[in-house]
């Protein structure tokens, strides 16, 4: 075997020398082949896309950077002893099938080794022997099936390891025994059936882990080892159907979790509840059918939530997001089964600035659905809206938005009338499904008359008479039966703090009335309620009660909303 290799090697070396001598140019005592670019002042040589079949061995032996990417190199045996001072070596996009034994033994200072897009099938304990300074290793897009347990034993300095796009099913326990400095591991696009718990147990400083596009179905009890610094975990595009309540609970620092495009059918509330540092959660493209009260329990730091493309989602509880007091952005696009939003869904989310509910099944929208006075962007396009006068508030908002975008000078009057004149709307996509005269038209093209909800004078009189009648009846009851007045004092206090009921009436300034009615009024009500209610204390004893009730599934907890 070895004897066969020697003449082969000699022939190859001779050939290279011959080729170099014929085509190369000499500088600083080293030969630079014509297809390469040699920058001897910075000790860098690039032979990228040079159709090389072998590693050139006559280059400057003091090279720090050697780029051999996009060639046709198959073997690297005995190629690198000449370049002891290499710091960066790029062998990506070649045809290497095996790294052989101890071929990087002299590269004591190598920090970056790029081997992506080759055909490597097997890594052994000799593959990276000697690479004590290596911090970045990329073996993505190869044909790895097996990595021997001792493969990375010398790589004490390894920080970033890329193994994406291989055929890995399993990682040996102890594979990362020298991985105390590992911060990022890419295992996406492999064939893992479960999280490689035992191997990862040694990567105590890990901050980033990608397991996207594998075949992970269950995240079992203790599936994630104790990784106290992990801040990003990507599990998107697996087939996760179940997450044990302690499957992820060790990840106390986790800030970014992607569980999109899996097969979850119920919201994994319990499993996520301990991730109190989570700021971004993506659950898009699952098969969740219901968002229960406090679905995102304990996620007090959640800022960005993506729950779009939940094709089977039918129902959202009004208290779904109450724990997420720091929520800033929410994306709920393409939840086709949602035909109605609960009123004041975002009641407790006082930091919310971005709401997107594009392409849901919503026919009607109410101003009170959205915290209009604090939003910066509201995206509503693609819903089958019934553009009757109930959408007057939105029509008005679009009109003032249009005026504002045409007119660059500030209009102080409308600023006073509309709480948030800077609201960005996707008004070009807000198109009416009905009524017939507006079918297929932009809501903004509707006339003031079509959006007018005010009742005729006959109706107004009858409403007034009814109200007076009711008042008389109530007055009589109160006067004649004072002892019956034993309703809870809390309810009464709240009622008295609410503003007067808003009776529709024709006014001289139509705009002012409409805007007050639809925008200022709800937001005032919200503020009033805030003032009268005790502040939401996530750790207070009442919360424990709520959770118990929910777990028991007995009756709806009875808090916060009046």
Ligand X SMILES: *[C@@H]1O[C@H](CO)[C@@H](O)[C@H](O)[C@H]1NC(C)=O
| Residues near ligand X (CB under 6 A) | 48, 69-70, 84-85, 90, 92-93, 108-109, 112, 114, 121-122, 124, 140-141, 145-146, 164-165, 188-189, 217, 239, 241, 252-253, 263, 277, 363-364, 386, 388-390, 406-407, 409, 411
E-strand stretches of 362-401: 377-379, 385-386
* Min separation Cβ 357 and ligand X, Å: 16
* Min separation Cβ 277 and ligand X, Å: 4
Q: How far is the C-alpha of 348 from the C-alpha of 546, rounded, in Å?
A: 16
What are the CA-CA distances from residue 204 to residues 154, 178, 179, 312, 417 (Å)? Answer: 18, 11, 8, 39, 56
* Min separation Cβ 498 and ligand X, Å: 23
* Min separation Cβ 263 and ligand X, Å: 4
Nearest to 453 by CA among 388, 371, 501, 400: 388
* Min separation Cβ 353 and ligand X, Å: 20
Spell 131-150 as b/e; 16+ CB within 10 A means b.
bebbbbbbbbbbebeebebb
Q: What token pair was written down for 539?
A: 């750790």
Strand partners, 291: 316
Nearest to 167 by CA among 198, 192, 138: 192
Q: How far is the C-alpha of 214 from the C-alpha of 220, rounded, in Å?
A: 16
Judge contact between 173 and 150, C-beta under 8 A: no
Nearer residue to ligand X within complex by CB, 287 or 536:
287
Q: For every residue of 328-393, which 3-state class applies, written as one string?
A: CEEECCCCCCCCCCCCCCCCCCCCCCEEECCCCCCCCCCHHHCCCCCCCEEECCCCCEECCHHHHH
* Min separation Cβ 358 and ligand X, Å: 18
Nearer residue to ligand X within complex by CB, 419 or 434:
434
HSE-CB for 511 with a 13 A CA cutoff = 12
Nearer residue to ligand X within complex by CB, 386 or 528:
386
Nearer residue to ligand X within complex by CB, 115 or 550:
115
Which residue do the tokens 């600083």 mark?
Answer: 28
Q: How far is the C-alpha of 418 from the C-alpha of 422, rounded, in Å?
A: 10
* Min separation Cβ 231 and ligand X, Å: 8
E-strand stretches of 119-176: 122-123, 136-138, 146-147, 160-162
Nearer residue to ligand X within complex by CB, 440 or 541:
440
CA 439 to chain centre: 35
SS3 316: strand
* Min separation Cβ 493 and ligand X, Å: 32
* Min separation Cβ 207 and ligand X, Å: 11
Judge contact between 376 and 424, C-beta under 8 A: yes
* Min separation Cβ 397 and ligand X, Å: 17
Nearer residue to ligand X within complex by CB, 189 or 323:
189
Nearer residue to ligand X within complex by CB, 181 or 390:
390
Residue nearest to ligand X (CB): 165
Main-chain phi, psi angles of 482, to 5 degrees: -65, -25
Judge contact between 411 and 462, C-beta under 8 A: no
Nearer residue to ligand X within complex by CB, 240 or 546:
240
Nearer residue to ligand X within complex by CB, 129 or 293:
129
Nearer residue to ligand X within complex by CB, 178 or 188:
188
The two beta strands, 88-90 and 242-243, are unpaired
């Amino acid at each position: 075997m070895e004897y066969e290799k020697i003449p082969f090697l000699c022939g190859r070396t001779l050939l290279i020398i011959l080729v170099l001598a014929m085509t190369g140019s000499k500088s600083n005592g080293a030969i630079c082949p014509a297809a390469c670019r040699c920058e001897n002042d910075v000790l860098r040589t690039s032979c990228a896309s040079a159709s090389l079949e072998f590693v050139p061995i006559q280059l400057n032996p003091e090279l720090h950077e050697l780029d051999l990417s996009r060639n046709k190199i198959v073997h690297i045996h005995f190629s690198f002893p000449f370049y002891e001072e290499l710091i960066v070596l790029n062998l990506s996009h070649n045809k290497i099938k095996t790294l052989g034994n101890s071929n990087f033994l002299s590269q004591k200072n190598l920090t970056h080794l790029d081997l992506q897009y080759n055909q490597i099938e097997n890594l052994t304990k000799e593959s990276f022997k000697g690479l004590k300074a290596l911090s970045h290793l990329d073996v993505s897009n190869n044909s790895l099936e097996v990595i021997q347990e001792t493969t990375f034993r010398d790589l004490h300095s390894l920080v970033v390891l890329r193994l994406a796009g291989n055929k890995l099913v399993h990682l040996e326990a102890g594979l990362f025994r020298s991985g105390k400095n590992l911060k990022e591991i890419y295992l996406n696009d492999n064939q893992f059936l479960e999280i490689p718990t035992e191997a990862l147990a040694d990567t105590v400083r890990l901050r980033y882990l990608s397991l996207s596009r594998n075949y992970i179905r269950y995240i079992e009890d203790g599936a994630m080892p104790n990784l106290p610094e992990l801040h990003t975990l990507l599990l998107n595009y697996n087939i996760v159907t179940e997450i044990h309540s302690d499957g992820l609970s060790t990840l106390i620092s986790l800030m970014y979790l992607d569980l999109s495009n899996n097969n979850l059918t119920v919201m994994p509330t319990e499993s996520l509840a301990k991730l109190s540092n989570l700021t971004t959660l993506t659950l898009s493209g699952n098969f969740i059918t219901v968002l229960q009260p406090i679905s995102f329990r304990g996620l007090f730091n959640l800022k960005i939530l993506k729950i779009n493309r939940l094709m089977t989602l039918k129902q959202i509880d009004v208290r779904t997001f109450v724990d997420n007091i720091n929520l800033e952005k929410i994306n709920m696009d393409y939840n086709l089964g949602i035909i109605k939003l609960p009123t004041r869904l975002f009641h407790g989310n006082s930091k919310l600035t971005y709401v997107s509910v594009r392409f849901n099944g919503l026919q009607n929208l109410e101003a009170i659905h959205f915290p209009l006075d604090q939003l910066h962007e509201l995206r509503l396009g693609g819903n089958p809206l019934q553009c009757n006068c109930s959408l007057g508030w939105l029509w008005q908002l679009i009109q003032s938005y249009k005026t504002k975008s045409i007119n660059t000078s500030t209009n102080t009057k409308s600023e006073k009338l509309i709480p948030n004149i800077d609201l960005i709307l996707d008004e070009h996509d807000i198109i009416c499904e009905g009524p017939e005269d507006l079918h297929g038209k932009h809501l903004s093209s509707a006339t003031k008359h079509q959006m007018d909800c005010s009742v005729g004078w006959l109706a107004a009189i009858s409403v007034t008479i009814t109200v007076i009648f009711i008042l008389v009846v109530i007055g009589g009851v109160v006067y004649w039966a004072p002892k019956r007045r034993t309703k809870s004092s809390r309810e009464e206090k709240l009622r008295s703090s609410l503003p007067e009921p808003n009776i529709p009436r024709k006014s001289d300034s139509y705009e002012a009335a409409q805007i007050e009615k639809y925008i200022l009024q709800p937001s005032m009500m919200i503020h009033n309620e805030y003032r009268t209610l005790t502040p939401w204390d996530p750790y207070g004893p009442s919360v424990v009660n709520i959770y118990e009730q929910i777990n028991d599934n007995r009756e709806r907890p009875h808090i916060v909303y009046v």
